Every structure is written in structure tokens, then in C-alpha cells.
Amino acid sequence: MSRVLVGVKRVIDYAVKIRVKPDHSGVVTDGVKHSMNPFCEIAVEEAVKLKEKKFIKEVVAVSCGPTQVTETIRTALAMGCDRGIHVEVSGKDYEAMGPLQIAKIFAALAKKEEASLVILGKQAIDDDCNQTGQMTAALLDWPQGTFASEVTIDGEKVKVVREIDGGLETIKISMPAVLTADLRLNTPRYATLPNIMKAKKKKIANMKPADLGVDMVSRVEVLRVDEPPTRLAGVKVETVDDLVAKLKANGTI
Amino acid sequence: MLLGKVSLTPALCTALRISPAFSGIQKQIGAAATQNARLYASSQAAEAVLDKQAVGTTTATKAATAKKAQSVESQSFAVNMFKGQINPSQVFPFPSVMNEEQTQFLQELVPPVSKFFEEVNDPAKNDSLEKVEDSTMESLKEMGAFGLQVPQDLGGVGLTNTQYARLVEIVGQHDLGVGITLGAHQSIGFKGILLVGSPAQKEKYLPKLATGETLAAFCLTEPASGSDAASIKTLATLSPCGKHYILNGGKIWISNGGLAEIFTVFAKMPMMDEKTGQMKDKITAFIVERSFGGVTHGPPEKKMGIKASNTAEVYFENVPVPIENVLGEVGGGFKVAMAILNNGRFGMAAALSGTMKGVITQAVDHAANRVQFGSKIHTYGAIQEKLARMTMLQYVTESMAYMISGNMDSGSKDYHIEAAISKIFASEAAWEVTDECIQVMGGMGFMKGSGVERVMRDLRIFRIFEGTNDILRLFVALNGFQDAGKHLKSLQKALKNPLGNAGLLAGEITKRAKRTAGLSTGLTLQGSVHPELSHSGNLAVKAIEHFGVTVEDMLLKHGKNILHEQFVLKRVADSAIDLYAMVVVLSRASRSLSQGHASAQHEKILCETWCIEAYDRIMKNVKDLKSSSTTQVFKNMKAISAAVVENGGIVAPHPLGF
């Protein structure tokens, strides 16, 4: 019961106003503020907490992307992860990178690092895919505890309380397993300046997807990116009868 | 070009505009300066600077000659501009002092600190509680915010001045009350230990101060000694056993006074003056622990602003302070105080540039959305002028802060005039910007909910503490005059040996002849300033030339009495501030243009606009100082003041007769 892999994704900061590129191929990322995906922060926090409670010995932070993602790995290190792995992906491969490619990388790493748990954020706030955790578990043929709002280690098993549409569901799964963090799992700690200093001494290993035997070819092609249509003004009506009449008139009912 | 014999004729003296009796004046300035040092010693800097000229006239010359090598070689732009000279080495190009590792480290520090202040710290709560919330204090300590400049091996974050400035900017943007709590602790409270502490003192005190386990406070001000800091009465006497100093006295308005465990205390000690053989009071700095016993404090003062910061009276009653706790040299306390205050001043400009950034964002947000008379109010000229002025003031302040921190990080020791200028400028700019922000926001600005009124209240003290702006202006002017005076003195010496100094004299005569004829004297910023800014660069050069002439004129007209001519000193200082500001933005905008920043054209406009208006202000001051009607105005003001003082208030009887 030793090692946990945590995935951290570098995304456009949640407070930034997103702008679509003039050629509609994507959103503007140059010069835009980026930070760690909020759900990944929650995942890191959970992993570090498990280590503090002595359920695990080592937390490894992993990120895939160009050089800039090392900033995100360092933030994870400052929060308490022991070491980092930077899987270098850049250029076209990076733009086309999606949950399937990441899941393949994580599956390979989980085996290589002999991880007992892989903890990810439930989804990223840029693509909102909500697939990586599930795909990783499937590739590894491991149990999965997704949308976790509470995680308890019980010997060789993990009890996970999941947030589902109908309420809360509690499951017990065997390790090794994949967990994905939901909003209420915990409140991530603030990186303190001394910890950021200590993080400078922690190691970040570099590798390429090819080193893990992963092919980055995407089966998905983005055709076009548009902003949501501007919301049109609504119409106020006085009575319920008026409302019904209007809805009938425009063919809604 | 002058060839052949040059003799000390009256004509030559006139040409050089130096009185043959000038040598006396320099000595007199030195002596009078020391006599009158008490007058201006708040900026304890003034005393120590004037101290350099020492007591007595002969020592003045000796000290001047001894320091000549040092001061003549001063790289400070401000020092040189008083002589009408340009030394661009510290201002061009705009300093870029961090290496890759330092830059990367700083980039990692900014987000967590910003996040903390955006999400956790509650400035409104701190203000209404009149203290920093306990949980916030704890988090700040954990974050390492209390030991930012303590070396890493003693438990601190080990930041350079530039890195410290960047973080302090974030604090300033969000909560000045917290800013003062942190600043009173590390910027002045224990800075003395960092600067002049012995290795033993550093090892003993810094680790706990860095984590915030113990807090520090700077204890100088007393009921009868504010600006006149040299007159403090707190007394330290050596105990009979010779192992302790016994401290007695009371200090007022001490930030962190009620919270601190470690105090940097300034007290007077009677000491034997070697030169005169008489006992003289000299000030010594001590590290005093509350645990020594006899240290008590009063209740928290009720203030206009920075309410979250604890301000209290601190009393010392027979406190035994071990002799190992003397900070710096015995009797050298003034220099210690000066070093501490000088060293921390840039932090204020950095913090306030952050404050201004924050309120400008609020003002812009309001102006961009508020519709009146059918249009968004930012389309109206009145609002545009306000927003533009606010932006320029913030740009200048920010440029000053990082120029000075950059100079300090590069090892410059000669930044005290610039630091004083930046404190004056930043505190007044921030007040003006915040006031205009409230005006732009209208009634909303006045309401507590917007948070701007709190910033306004917090800002007021910045023009008062750490050296009132009035005193600092006198300091800037007097310091400048002293250096300019030395320059004139060296010219005067050259006059005594004209053959040996033909080159120097010839140069001076040519320069002055050109000036009189209205021609440029060859001073230039070409090569330093970006070509697109050359017009503004020329304005700066002209301003420096006129400024240099005015400084000389004032020295020759008033001689030693310049010390008393505060109306003159203020206008000289204002011009110096405007000049430094011009040069600082020329440097920054030049860099942006050279590096092709996206904002370069915008910065160019900021720079040009600032320079046009600053030039006008400087020229007006220069003109006023020459005009007889202004002299009359000064006389009148003196008379008006005397009359109301004598009457205890307004003199003119009521228009209604009762």
C-alpha cells in the first residue's frame, strides 16, 4: 500500500473571460492566465491527506503537455506531492490530445509505478469531458469510484461515497482502483511560501508518450469552435393565460 | 576654449557666478546644518546626512574632502540632477535584475498569495473588528508571509527586494491594514537585525520572527518627538554591573505595539564626545524582548484607517537590556534608524502601486457600465481625464518602485533621495487616485459596501508616518543642495588654482555662457531614451538644466540660510520629484518600445503626457523661485500665519460683524 498517482491538468483559469480564435479553430490561450484545474486540486488534496494519515507512502503528480505544465506540477509539489512526472506532448499532438490518450498514458504509468490508486479530477473545466477517469479504469480493468465526495481506506478496500443525480451512493471497491474527485470531497490547501521553496528541491521526471508505448493519434477531429449564441431578451407576460397563449402561438405547445 | 593664463579676476568670478567668499558658505552650510539638524531630523536621514559633515567647521571640510571621492562619484540620478548633470547609469535601461531562477520562483509565489487575499482575507471584516482575524493571521504565518526577506537558512523565504516588492504589491491591492501589520513587523520592526545585527543576534531572533511566532515593532516616536526624532527622551543607562542597560521611557503610536514580543527601541545615552571632551546625548538602538520585564503597553488606538493594524503606546520601566542586545554601534542609533527606514521605503511605493491598480479597476468597471444622459459615462471628457490621470499616477509610482528595488538589488547604496521621492510621490498619488475613484463612482463610492472609502481612510496615514512628506521634501531638497554645494565648492577650489584646472574651468565657463545664451549645454539623454520618445527626453534634459541652474541660484542667494527657506525648499523638492518621475517613465516606456511590448504605444502616450505636464510644473516652480512676486507671496504667507497663531484662529472679523 504505497503509491498514489495524481493527474493534474493545466487549464485556462476559471476567472478568465474566454475568447474564441478568429479562425474558430479553438480558444485563445496565448498570454492568457492558466492554473491547475480546480477538480485536480481537490484530487491532489485528497492524495496528500491520505499520505498525512499514513495510508500511503508516496504521491506522484503527473501532467501531460508542453513545458508550461511543469508550473502545474510544481504547484502540486508545493501542496505536498513527493515527486512529479512530466509527459512531454506538444504541438499538434497537444492540441489533439483528449481523454483517450491521457487515459492510455495514465494506465501505462499506473502499471509502471505500481500504483495502488489513481486519483483524478472528475472533469476538466475546459473540455468538461468527464471521461479520463472512467477510460483509465477500463484500460487497466480496475474498479472505479467516480464523483467521490468522501473516500475512506479500509484495509485493501476503499469506501467511496459518490454524488449521483438521485443523491449519494456508497460503494466499496478493491484496490488498486481509480477515483475521480468531485467538488465536495475536500477544500484544497493554499500552497505556503515555505512549501513552494521546498518543492523546488523535489524531482520532476521527463518522459514521452512513446516511452510508455502510447500512440497519441486522435480519433476525434475538432471542426469548429463557436461562442454560445447571445441570449435574446425574454418577454414578460401578465397572467398564466397570456403565457399559455404565447407558447401556443410560437408553436412550443 | 580658454588658453593661457587664467587669473582669479572679478570678471571670472562673475562669469562662473561664484562669490570669492564662497568657501565660507560651504563651511557655514555644514555648521549651520548641524546646528539645525535637530530641526529636520525626523527623516533621521537628514541628521545622519548632515552628520556626515560632522560637528565644527574644520571637520566639515575634512569630512567633505574625505567623502569627496565617494560623493563626487555618486551614481544616483537624483544626486546628479541637483548639479544639473545627468548620470544615467542607475536609470537607463530600466533595471531587470532577476535571474531565471528568481523570476520563476517569484512567478510561483504570486498566484497563491493573490488567491489568499482574494478568497480568504476579509478586509471589511478586519476593518470592523479593528484587528486582523485570528484565522487569517494564522494562515499568513503558515504561508511564510512574516519572514519574506529573512534568509532561507534562518527560516525565511529569502526574497530579494524586487521579489518582496511584487508580493507586497498584492497585499497593498487588497488590504493595507494587513499590509501595515506585516510591514511594521518585517519592513521596520526587525529590519535592523537583518541590516546591522551581529551573527549571534540574527541566529537568536530571526527564526522565530520569520515564522511569526514572535512579532516585532519599531519604537522611535514619543509624545514630544515625532519629526524631531533626535529629541527623544527614552533613556538608557549602563547598570553598575556593566552587563545591562536600564531602559526607561515611553513610546507612542507603535504599530504592533500590543502584539510584539521583540522591539527595536531607540533611546538616548549620555556619552563622552572625544572631540570636545563633553558629555553629549547620543542615540543607541536596542533589541528589547518583552520577556526582559518592565515592558507594558496601552490599549489599541482608535484610528481613521488601517484599523486592523494594532497601534499602541509602549512603556519601558527599568527594563534590563543585556549589552549584547545593542543593535549596531553604541551611539550609532541614528544611522541605524536611517538605514532601516531607507531600506524599507521602496516597499511603500510597491504596495501603493498595487492599491492604485485595485481602485482603478473599480473605477473603470463603474465608468464602463454606468449609463447617464444616454451614454456610458466613460465617453465623457470629464471622466476620461480622471481615468487618464489615475492611470498615469499609477504608472509612475509602479515604475519608481521597481526602479528603486532594482537599483537596490544591483548593489547600489546610494538610493536614499530616490527612496524618499518615491514615498512622497506614492502616498500622494494613491490618495489622489482613490479620491478620484470615489468621484467617478459617485454616491456608490461613498458607500461602505464598495470598499473604496475604507481604502481612502487607510491611505491617509501614508503621507504622515515613516517621515512626513513635508519633512521628506526638506530632506530631498537639503540633501540635493548639500551635494550641489560640494560641487560648487570644488569649483571654487579650482578657481584658486586655475592653471591646474584650466579644463574644468573652461568647461564651466562654456557651459554657463551657453546657458545664458539659451543654447543647449550638450546634456543629452540620446542613446538612453528610445528614439520615439526623444521629444520627451529633450523636455527632461531642459528641465534638468533649468533645475540645476535654479539650485545654484538658490545656494548663492541664500547661502547657509537656505535651511530656513522652507518655501523654497518645498518647490525645489517638488521639481526634483517631477524630474525623477519624468526620467523613470522615460526609462520604462523606452524599454517597452525596445522590447516591442503589445502595450508599448499606450505606454508611450502615458510617458509623453506625463512629461509634458511635469515639465510645465517644473518650469513654473523654477520661474516662481526667480520671481519677486513669489518672494512677496512667501512673506505674506508668513505674516498670515503669524497673525492667526497670535489670535488662536481666524483673525478677520465676521462679515456680519458678529
Nearest to A196 among B108, B115, B148 (CB): B108
Give the pLDDT means over successive 10-residue stretches in chain B (658 positions): 42 49 42 38 38 37 42 79 89 93 92 93 96 96 95 94 97 97 96 96 97 97 93 95 96 97 96 85 96 97 97 97 96 93 94 98 96 96 97 98 96 92 98 98 96 97 95 92 79 75 74 70 82 94 92 86 91 96 96 93 97 97 92 94 96 94
- Chain-chain contact of A190 with B120 (C-beta, under 8 angstroms): yes
Q: What would you report as the CA-atom Rg of chain B, rounded to the nearest whole angstrom?
A: 26
Q: How far is A62 from chain B (nearest CA, A)?
A: 18
Q: Cα–Cα distance between B582 and B543 in angstroms, integer?
A: 10
Chain A residues inside the 8 Å CB shell of B143: 190, 192-193
Q: How far is B1 from chain A (nearest CA, A)?
A: 58
Q: Mention every residue, 6+ apart, whose C-beta is less than 8 A from residue B400.
A: B349, B418, B421, B422, B425, B426, B580, B581, B584
Spatial strand order in the sheet of A3-7: A167-174, A157-164, A144-154, A177-181, A117-121, A3-7, A58-65, A83-88, A204-207
C-alpha cell at B164: 518582496
Chain B residues inside the 8 Å CB shell of A200: 105
Nearest to A191 among B112, B145, B157 (CB): B112
Nearest to A196 among B109, B139, B145 (CB): B109
Q: Cα–Cα distance between B491 and B496 in angstroms, integer?
A: 9
Chain B residues inside the 8 Å CB shell of A75: 108, 111
Q: Write the DSSP string, B467-495.
A: S-HHHHHHHHHHHHHHHHHHHHHHHHHHH
Chain A residues inside the 8 Å CB shell of B139: 190
Interface residues on A facing B, Cβ-Cβ cutoff 8 A:
35, 71, 74-75, 78, 190-194, 196-197, 200
Structure confidence by residue, pLDDT tens digits, A49-76? 999 999 999 999 999 999 999 999 999 9
- How many Å is the maximal CA-CA distance in chain B? 82
Classify each residue of A76-115 as buried b or exposed e, where b means 16 or more C-beta atoms within 10 Å of its C-beta.
bbbbbbbebbbbbbeeebeebbbbbbbbbbbbbbbeebeb
Q: How far is A194 from chain B (nearest CA, A)?
A: 6
- Chain-chain contact of B108 with A78 (C-beta, under 8 angstroms): yes
Q: Cα–Cα distance between B498 and B517 in angstroms, integer?
A: 24
Residue with grid cell 532577476, as numbered in its chain: B98
Q: How far is B203 from chain A (nearest CA, A)?
A: 19
Chain B residues inside the 8 Å CB shell of A196: 105, 108-109, 112
Q: Cα–Cα distance between B483 and B87 in angstroms, integer?
A: 14
Nearest to A193 among B107, B120, B157 (CB): B157
Q: How far is B380 from chain A (nearest CA, A)?
A: 27
Q: Cα–Cα distance between B430 and B432 in angstroms, integer?
A: 5
A vs B: CB pairs below 8 A: 39
Q: What would you report as the CA-atom Rg of chain A, rounded to the nearest whole angstrom?
A: 21
Helix (H, G, I), strand (E, B) or coil at B226: coil
- Chain-chain contact of A193 with B143 (C-beta, under 8 angstroms): yes
Q: How far apart are the first and last CA of chain B?
A: 73
Q: Write the DSSP string, B236-267.
A: EEE-TTSSEEEEEEEEEEEETTTT-SEEEEEE
Burial of residue B294 (CB within 10 Å: 0-12, 13-18, 19+) is middle
Q: Cα–Cα distance between B483 and B556 in angstroms, integer?
A: 14
Q: Would you list the domain boundaries of chain A?
A: 3-250
Using pLDDT thresholds of 50, 70 and 90, give the confidence band for residue A1: low
pTM listed for this prediction:
0.84
Angle at A70 between CA A66 and CA A73, to 5 degrees: 130
Q: Cα–Cα distance between B406 and B103 in angstroms, integer?
A: 13
Q: Which residue of A has its CA nearest to B101?
A: A200
Chain A residues inside the 8 Å CB shell of B144: 192-194, 197
Q: How far is B122 from chain A (nearest CA, A)?
A: 16
Nearest to A194 among B107, B108, B144 (CB): B144
Q: Cα–Cα distance between B62 and A73 in angstroms, integer?
A: 61
Q: Which residue of B has its CA nearest to A31?
A: B598
* pLDDT for B44: 40
Is the previous residue joined to B95 through a cis bond, with omega within 30 degrees of 0?
Answer: no
Q: Cα–Cα distance between A197 and B108 in angstroms, integer?
A: 9
Give yes or no: B466 in active site.
Answer: yes
Chain A residues inside the 8 Å CB shell of B108: 71, 74-75, 78, 196
Proportion of chain A above pLDDT 70, given as a percent: 100
Q: Cα–Cα distance between A209 and A212 in angstroms, integer?
A: 5
Tell me B309's DSSP state: S
Chain A residues inside the 8 Å CB shell of B112: 78, 190-193, 196
Q: Which residue of A has its CA nearest to B157?
A: A194
- Backbone φ and ψ for B214, nearest 5 degrees, come out as -120, 145
**DSSP H stretches of helix in chain A:** 38-52, 69-79, 91-96, 99-112, 132-140, 193-199, 240-249
- Chain-chain contact of A193 with B144 (C-beta, under 8 angstroms): yes
Among residues B222, B418, B466, B608, the one annotated as catalytic is B466
Contact call for residues B32 and B26 (beta carbons, < 8 A): no
Nearest to A197 among B142, B145, B157 (CB): B157
* pLDDT for A87: 97
* pLDDT for B519: 66
Q: Which residue of B has its CA nearest to A200?
A: B105
Contact call for residues B420 and B476 (beta carbons, < 8 A): yes
- Chain-chain contact of B120 with A35 (C-beta, under 8 angstroms): no
Nearest in space to A56 (alpha carbons), one of A131, A119, A13, A112: A119
Q: Which residue of A has its CA nearest to B116?
A: A190
- Chain-chain contact of B109 with A194 (C-beta, under 8 angstroms): no
* pLDDT for B96: 92
Nearest in space to B393 (alpha carbons), one of B210, B578, B134: B578
Kind plus residue range of the DSSP H or E element containing B567: helix B566-594
Q: Which residue of B has its CA nearest to A13?
A: B111
Q: Write the DSSP string, B572-594.
A: HHHHHHHHHHHHHHHHHHHHHHH
Cα–Cα distances in Å, from B389 out to B38, B379, B428? 38, 15, 13
Contact call for residues B554 and B568 (beta carbons, < 8 A): yes
Q: Which residue of B has its CA nearest to A192?
A: B143
> Does the pLDDT value for residue A191 go beyond 90?
no
- Chain-chain contact of B115 with A190 (C-beta, under 8 angstroms): yes
Using pLDDT thresholds of 50, 70 and 90, give the confidence band for residue A36: very high
Q: Which CATH code is given to the segment(s) A3-250?
A: 3.40.50.620
Chain B residues inside the 8 Å CB shell of A193: 109, 112-113, 143-145, 148, 157
* pLDDT for B10: 52
Q: Mention every residue, 6+ apart, whose C-beta is less than 8 A from residue A191.
A: A75, A78, A79, A199, B112
Contact call for residues B40 and B46 (beta carbons, < 8 A): yes
Q: How far is A110 from chain B (nearest CA, A)?
A: 28
- Chain-chain contact of A190 with B112 (C-beta, under 8 angstroms): yes
Q: Write the DSSP string, B36-100.
A: GGGGGTTSHHHHHHHHHT-SSHHHHHHHHHHHHHHHHT---HHHHHTTT---GGGTSSPP----H
ipTM above 0.95, yes or no: no
Chain B residues inside the 8 Å CB shell of A67: none
Nearest to B108 among A74, A190, A194 (CB): A74
Contact call for residues B624 and B630 (beta carbons, < 8 A): yes
The whole-number average pLDDT for the span A144-149 is 97
Q: Compute CA A96 distance to the chain's CA centroid, rounded to the nearest angstrom.
A: 17
